[in-house]
């Protein structure tokens, strides 16, 4: 049946079509059925609502669905009743614990990509991965299906390397801004493509976007990488592993979950699609990091290396210290500023972030074959200290369309800010990853780029009463107040005397 | 901030608010945040979309949310930014396997009831019950919270009994139409409240609605039950356990799942809220029934009785035969017609449904104290054969606003119908619950009341080639074709010679 589209200018983030009761009766449709909407060779299915809000002869759809079909308000589309959706039946089987075949996984990925699954169905799929898991074979098929449904980059046999961090530690989004220019300076190609932050206050893309556009098209990524050696861009904009962003935005971000099979598929589908041949995976481990236990870290490292191999990628996994935030700045603008300071000062700045960046850059130089084994760190350090990394970074920023002359102090921070001071004297015994993340997010990060937390005290530092321990920034005074409230209640930075407990003195005096 | 509402006339089945970017900035809102919408003492929270589809100073909401707040298009509502939603954090904890407290479960139920949870969040809750489960204490709290947030009926100490079937066997929705009038004839009160079918081709409410309105208000249920002894109504219309319907419509029905903790909470919250004091729970067991295994049935029976006791309800659970459809008719109109035939003929009709109805009616008469132990079945049979049950059913139909003079043949069936004939001669060895359900649903049941399947052959019946084995009815020729196709491919009624295999004759001849 031909129906005229009426497009509501709102993105619904899930498929929905509304048709008139009379048209529904003609099509034999009842509430809860799906319709297949066909337009110029494209099609998708959507659950149908029957309402006289849709006039006879018309179909009401929402903006995202219209964009996907490239249909304009008033255009005619062809509507048929859709039989039961195979992918939904497959999701039900996964919920029941079945192992899915290659073809079945491709069917689900294809329906997610076409926008045919409702949020209820998509959530059921992701939670079935959380609770039922997938074996390595299923994850391999999922990874390939996610990559191959989008754009596959081709660098024509170049020495293409990349690194990816599992994340979960605040302040960790900026190391790529230091690593990419070091590695590119040494002649390797490093097209770093990432997604935005899911649970953390900033992802690499959020941080880089403070300094330059990150929505590069696929051709631009290939061209710039070949010309200057590297980019730091948003996978979604280049249609790299497009389903990954959809899962994150629609389900993983709202629920703050990250099922293990999807952790692998998310990271490796992007790397596989981006044409990466050699990969370092960074797995931070520590209290309140995403991975808290060394045994888990080793299992994840092993799986990651094996899965990468199934995709033809040579990978190494580095388990790193993740027991407190990396560096002193958390939040997109703050982290961009910190990276820029380190680069422009040729290596001065917070020891933890400089050290970590050089270690991973060194591993990349070694796996990429431009440094001898065991000499990568030293080579990375020379490149940073020589100022070549800073020059390379400016080239990358310029190539992506940013201002290469921006100085750290030019990076704008939230106009509303407040310093939190220590209420006791002693040594910092703990900086809570979770609390710092929550405070930075309450202040507005990562959506509010200027929001975040600057730490003035980290583990082992001596502080006196009244010394500043952190500063919170936000673009909104309302959000700043909320972040301050959290900072006061969560005890994010623990200050204690060096003597924590005394035993053997008889009964404890209270 | 005061914003003028603009109401879209579509039910979205989840909360959503759209506001202008400028207003969002003033409120410190970023995408993914929630707003609290306050109107005349009511409030709910909704995830916010930021789009210039909403004009400055306005907020776009959808019909269901507007109805819930009782707000009209153009009314001003007060908007504040909502801090993180406690119930969402609790759902996350349940996903991680935590046991929830009474207060925490009440918080979740309250947010579901106010319509504050998105479909992603609601699906996460229901799947966490599927995968993590709940202990009996949690289920007790969930049941009470679901009941107490709605209307609680009070019959002032009357002898109030009810029965509930776990379902899963097609054709099982009509026994209440026979049981309620028998039990009411014996002087007990039986206010039967149910939900619509989730997975089956018809629920008791869908079937009763063919003969009389089922959307009785709470006062009407109490009044009619006191006057004529019983009703058969839709819990949702009387605001009995309102959250139950929401969970079914939004998640359980689309995904066809029914987590065990919710099976208990769904049944018992309705009984607790309806003021039931004595309850018989029917658990059909058999191939392709909801419960396939006797061990599961016994566990469910034990849990059901114990949970009922925690709610002050004396319960017995009957494990019944569920290996094939009950009676010969499946689908709302067909089942209504079959029940009416049995009542009006004083007990003639398909043996399985008469037998089952009398057994359960007998248990109710015994547990209700109007029959001696072991004499209930005989008493129920006398009431049916005397014609008193039929008279009582006519009273109930009339009290609910239906036509008491309707004859079985007056019940309209789908105008499109087709007889499926046997392709072989022999005995019926199997009638598949699942296939019959799928065929009836493909034909349009339960939404299309006139759709369904009439069985002409059941287990043990002798059929010849060309004998009718079933007839399919539908209001839509398109749906009928689909149902016929299913009937041809699924082999729903298996016909074999009485000799299934012969051994000992030497090699099998093919």
pLDDT digits over A385-406, tens only? 999 999 999 999 999 999 999 9
Give the Cα separation of B180 and A182 in Å (integer): 80
Name the least confident of A484-493, B24-33, B122-131, B255-264: B24-33
Under 8 Å CB-to-CB from A413, ≥6 apart: which residues? A333, A334, A337, A450, A452, A473
- Whether residues B293 and B425 fall in one domain: no
Closest residue in B to A20 (Cα–Cα): B10
* Contact between B380 and B182 (Cβ < 8 Å): yes
Residues 6+ apart with CB under 8 A from B287: B323, B430, B432, B433
Instruction: For residues B47 and B35, give the distance between their C-alpha atoms in angstroms, rounded to a whole number.
Output: 6
Nearest Cα residue in chain A from B63: A53
Residues A256, B92: C-beta atoms closer than 8 Å: yes
- B-contacting residues of A 391-430, CB under 8 Å? none
Token pair belonging to A275: 């044409």
B380 in a domain, yes or no? yes
Which CATH number characterizes residue B59's domain? Answer: 2.40.40.20
Q: Is A17 left (phi over 0), alpha (psi -120 to 50) or beta?
A: beta
Distance from CA of A479 to the nearest CA of B (A): 7
pLDDT > 60? residue B509: no
Compute how many other C-beta atoms are within 10 angstroms of the C-beta atom of residue B449: 24
Question: Alpha carbon of A450 to those of A401, A404, A415: distances in Å?
Answer: 20, 20, 8
- pLDDT above 50: residue A53: yes
B465 contact A CB<8A = no
pLDDT above 90 (res B510): no
**Cis omega (within 30 of 0) for bond into A446:** yes
| C-beta atoms surrounding B162 within 10 Å | 30
- B28, B83 contact by CB (below 8 A): no
Encoded tokens for A183: 């590695």
B503: pLDDT confidence band, cut at 50, 70 and 90?
low
- Residues in a beta bridge with A165: A282
Say if A144 falls within a structural domain. Answer: no
Q: How confident is the model at residue B178 (pLDDT cuts 50, 70, 90)?
A: very high
**B160: pLDDT confidence band, cut at 50, 70 and 90?**
very high
Under an 8 A CB cutoff, do A251 and B131 touch? Answer: no
CA distance A123 to A156: 38
Nearest residue of A to residue B446 by CA position? A30
Q: Tell me the DSSP string of B346-365.
A: TS-S-HHHHHHHHHHHHHHH
Give the end-to-end CA distance of chain A in Å, rounded to a whole number. 81
Instruction: Give domain status of residue B416, yes or no.
Output: yes
Q: Is A119 on the interface with B (CB under 8 A)?
A: yes
| pLDDT for res A509 | 46
Instruction: Take residue B260 and report the two structure tokens written for it.
Output: 């065990």
CA–CA gap between residue A410 and residue A336 (Å, rounded): 11
The count of CB pairs under 8 A between chains A and B is 126
Is B258 annotated in the active site? yes
Q: Is the dihedral of CA A82, A87, A88, A92 positive or negative?
A: positive
Chain A residues with beta carbon closer than 8 angstroms to that of B12: 12, 16
Pair (B128, B180) in one structural domain: no
- Euclidean distance between CA atoms B329 and A297, whole angstroms: 58
Q: For A279-296, what is the mean pLDDT?
A: 92
Confidence band of B12 (pLDDT split at 50, 70, 90): confident
- When CB atoms are compared, the residue of B10, B92, B254 closest to A118 is B254
Residue A198: per-residue pLDDT: 76
Any CB–CB contact under 8 A between A83 and chain B? yes
Task: Tell me, yes or no, if B489 comes closer than 8 A to chain A by beta carbon.
Answer: no
Nearest to B186 by CA among B350, B351, B375: B375
Å from A53 to nearest chain B CA?
6
B248 contacts in A (CB within 8 Å)? none
* pLDDT recorded at residue B505: 60
B-chain residues near A60 (CB < 8 A)? 10
Share of chain A above pLDDT 70, in %: 97
Range name among A159-163, A329-333, B163-167 with the lowest pLDDT average: B163-167
Give ∠ CA B48-A446-A400 in degrees, rounded to 5. Answer: 115
Residue that finishes a domain, picked among B62, B82, B102: B82
pLDDT, average across residues A65-91: 92
Nearest Cα neighbor of A350 from A430, A429, A358 is A358
Question: What is the widest separation between alpha-carbon atoms in chain A?
Answer: 88
Are B28 and B69 members of one domain? yes
From B498, B488, B454, B449, select the one nearest B205 (Cα to Cα). Answer: B449
So what's the pLDDT on residue A506? 57
Is pLDDT at B419 greater than 70 in this prediction?
Answer: yes
B17 & B124 share domain: no
A432 and A398 in a common domain: no
A483 belongs to a structural domain: yes
Facing residue for A30 by CB, picked from B122, B130, B447: B447
- Chain B: give the shortest CA distance to residue A120, in Å: 6
**Closest-CA residue in chain B for A25?**
B476
d(CA B235, CA B222): 13
The residue out of B65, B82, B99 marking a domain boundary is: B82
Of A47, A62, A82, which residue sits at a domain end? A82
From the candidates B6, B28, B52, B450, which should be mutated to test the interface with A, based on the most A CB atoms within 10 A? B28
Instruction: Tell me the helix, strand and coil percentages in chain A, rounded to 5.
Output: 45, 20, 35
Q: What token pair was written down for B360?
A: 């359960």
Q: Cβ of B32 and A448 within 8 Å?
A: no
CA distance A183 to chain B (A): 35
| β-sheet with A426-431: strand ranges across | A462-463, A426-431, A493-496
Nearest chain A residue to B477 by CA distance is A28
Chain B residues with CB-CB distance to A25 below 8 A = 476
Q: Is A86 on the interface with B (CB under 8 A)?
A: no
* Residues of A acting as catalytic residues: 258
Cα–Cα distances (Å) from A23 to A62, A196, A459, in that order, read 19, 42, 67
Mean pLDDT across B101-108: 98
ipTM score for this prediction: 0.88
CA dist B418 and B470 (Å) reads 8
- Which 3 state secondary structure label does DSSP give B73? coil
- CATH number, domain at B322? 3.40.1030.10
Q: Are B334 and B413 in contact (CB under 8 A)?
A: yes
What is the rounded CA–CA span in Å between residue B115 and residue B100? 21
Instruction: Provide mean pLDDT across the span B38-61.
Output: 92
Closest by Cβ to A444, choosing from B12, B30, B122? B30
Look at the block and give the residue holding tokens 């007790």. B140
Domain total for chain B? 4
Residues A395 and A473 in one domain: no
- Cβ-based neighbours of B361, under 8 Å, separated by 6 or more: B178, B179, B182, B183, B376, B377, B380, B383
Kindly tell me if the per-residue pLDDT of B450 is higher than 50: yes
The alpha-carbon gap from A475 to the nearest alpha carbon of chain B, in Å, equals 8
Q: Are residues B279 and B329 in the same domain?
A: yes
Q: Which of B244, B250, B246, B42 is nearest to B145 (CA)?
A: B244
Specify if B205 maps to a domain: no
Residue of B356, B288, B324 whose CA lies nearest to B457: B324
What's the pLDDT tens digit per position in B123-156? 999 999 999 999 999 999 999 999 999 999 999 8
pLDDT at A507: 54
Specify the pLDDT at position A496: 81
Instruction: Mark yes or no for CB contact A10/B47 under 8 Å.
Output: no
Q: Are residues B41 and B98 in the same domain?
A: no
Tell me, yes or no, whether B217 lies in a domain: no
Residue B149 lies in a domain: no
Beta strands in A14-129 (DSSP E): 17-19, 34-39, 42-50, 58-62, 76-82
What pLDDT does residue B83 have?
74
Q: Backbone phi, then psi, for A103, in 5-degree steps? A: -60, -35
Calpha distance B242→B220 (Å, rounded): 17
Q: At what angle do helices A102-113 and A86-95 cross, to 10 degrees?
A: 120
Give pLDDT, residue A196.
Answer: 85
Whether A118 and chain B come into contact, CB under 8 Å, resolves to: yes
Which residues are CB-contacts of A290 (< 8 A; sequence separation ≥ 6)? A166, A167, A168, A169, A199, A258, A284, A322
- The stretch B365-370 carries a mean pLDDT of 96
Let me know whether A225 and A261 are in one domain: yes
CATH for B477: 3.90.1170.30
Average pLDDT of the residues of chain B: 93
Report if residue A153 sits inside a domain: no
Asked if A222 and A119 sit in the same domain, the reply is no
CA separation for the pair A61, A277 (Å, rounded): 42
Q: For chain B, what percentages of helix, strand and coil (3-state, to nearest 5) are there?
A: 45, 20, 35
Nearest-by-CA chain A residue for B131: A131
The answer to whether the CB of B429 falls within 8 A of the CB of B495 is: yes
Pair A54, A98 in one domain: no
What does the alpha-carbon distance between residue A332 and residue A212 come to, in Å, rounded to a whole number?
12
User: What is the distance between the alpha carbons of residues A440 and B117, in angstroms, rounded to a whole number?
Assistant: 25
Q: Between B9, B83, B253, which is nearest A53 by CB?
A: B9
pLDDT tens digits for B456-477? Answer: 999 889 999 999 999 999 999 9
Contact B119 A118 (CB under 8 A): yes
Chain-centre distance of CA A69, in angstroms? 27
Q: Do A30 and B448 touch (CB under 8 A)?
A: yes
Specify the DSSP class assigned to residue B248: I
DSSP 8-state secondary structure symbol assigned to residue B473: E
Q: Is the pLDDT of residue B301 over 60?
A: yes
Residue holding tokens 């356990």?
B241
- Structure confidence at residue B498 (pLDDT): 62
- Count of alpha carbons within 13 angstroms of residue A257, beta-carbon side: 28
Catalytic one of B111, B258, B282, B448: B258
Binned at pLDDT 50, 70 and 90, residue B198 comes out as: confident
Q: Distance of CA B377 to CAs A110, A304, B362, Å?
A: 57, 65, 4
A83:B28 CB<8 A: no
B256 close contact with A: CB closer than 8 A: yes
Domain ranges, residue B118: 86-133
Q: Across A48-52, A161-165, B344-348, which has the greatest mean pLDDT?
A: A161-165
Q: How far apart are CA B274 and CA B277, in angstroms?
A: 9
Q: Does A131 contact chain B (CB < 8 Å)?
A: yes
Closest by Cβ to B254, choosing from A51, A95, A121: A121
- Of chain B, the percentage scoring pLDDT greater than 70 comes to 97
CA nearest to B91 within chain A = A255
State whether A9 and A119 are in the same domain: no
pLDDT at A132: 96
Instruction: Please give the order of strands across the beta sheet that includes A452-455.
Output: A329-330, A452-455, A468-474, A416-421
Task: Give the CATH number for residue A109.
Answer: 1.20.970.10
Average pLDDT over residues B261-267: 96
């Amino acid at each position: 049946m031909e129906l005229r589209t009426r497009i509501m200018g709102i993105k619904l983030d899930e498929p929905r079509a509304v048709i008139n009761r009379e048209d529904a009766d003609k099509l034999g449709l009842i509430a809860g059925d799906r319709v297949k909407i066909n337009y110029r060779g494209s099609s998708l299915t959507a659950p149908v609502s029957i309402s006289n809000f849709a006039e006879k002869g018309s179909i009401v759809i929402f903006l995202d669905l219209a964009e996907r079909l490239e249909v304009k308000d008033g255009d005619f589309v062809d509507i048929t009743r859709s039989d039961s959706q195979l992918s939904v039946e497959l999701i039900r089987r996964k919920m029941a614990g079945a192992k899915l075949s290659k073809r079945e996984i491709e069917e689900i990925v294809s329906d997610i990509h076409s926008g045919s699954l409702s949020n209820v169905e998509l959530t059921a799929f992701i939670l079935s991965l959380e609770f039922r898991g997938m074996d390595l074979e299923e994850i391999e098929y999922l990874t390939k299906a996610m990559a191959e449904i989008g754009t596959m980059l081709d660098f024509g046999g170049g020495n293409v390397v990349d690194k990816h961090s599992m994340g979960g530690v605040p302040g960790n989004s900026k190391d790529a801004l230091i690593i990419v220019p070091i590695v590119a300076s040494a002649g390797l190609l490093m097209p770093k493509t990432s997604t935005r932050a899911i649970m953390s206050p900033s992802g690499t893309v959020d941080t880089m976007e403070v300094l330059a556009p990150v929505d590069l098209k696929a051709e631009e990524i290939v061209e710039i990488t070949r010309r200057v050696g590297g980019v730091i861009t948003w996978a979604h904009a280049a249609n790299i592993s497009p389903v990954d962003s959809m899962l994150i935005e629609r389900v993983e971000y709202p629920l703050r979950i990250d099922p293990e099979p999807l952790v692998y598929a998310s990271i490796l589908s992007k790397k596989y699609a981006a044409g990466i041949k050699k990969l370092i995976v960074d797995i931070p481990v520590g209290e309140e990091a995403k991975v808290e236990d060394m045994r888990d870290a080793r299992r994840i490292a092993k799986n990651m290396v094996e899965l990468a191999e199934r995709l033809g990628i040579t990978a190494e996994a580095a388990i790193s210290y993740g027991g407190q935030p990396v560096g002193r700045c958390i939040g997109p603008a703050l982290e961009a500023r910190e990276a820029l300071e380190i680069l422009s000062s040729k290596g001065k700045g917070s020891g933890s972030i400089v050290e970590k960046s050089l270690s991973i850059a060194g591993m990349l130089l070694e796996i990429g074959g431009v440094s001898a084994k065991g000499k990568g760190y030293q080579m990375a350090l020379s490149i940073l200290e020589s100022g070549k990394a800073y020059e390379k970074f400016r080239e990358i920023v310029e190539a992506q369309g940013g201002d290469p002359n921006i100085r750290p102090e030019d990076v704008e921070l939230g106009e509303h800010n407040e310093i939190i001071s220590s209420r006791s004297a002693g040594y910092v015994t703990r900086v809570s990853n979770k609390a710092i993340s929550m405070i930075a997010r309450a202040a507005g990060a990562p959506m509010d780029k200027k929001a975040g937390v600057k730490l003035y005290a980290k583990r082992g530092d001596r502080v006196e009463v009244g010394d500043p321990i952190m500063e919170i920034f936000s673009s909104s005074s309302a959000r700043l107040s909320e972040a301050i409230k959290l900072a006061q209640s969560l005890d994010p930075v623990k200050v204690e005397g060096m003597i924590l407990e005394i035993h053997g003195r008889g009964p404890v005096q209270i």
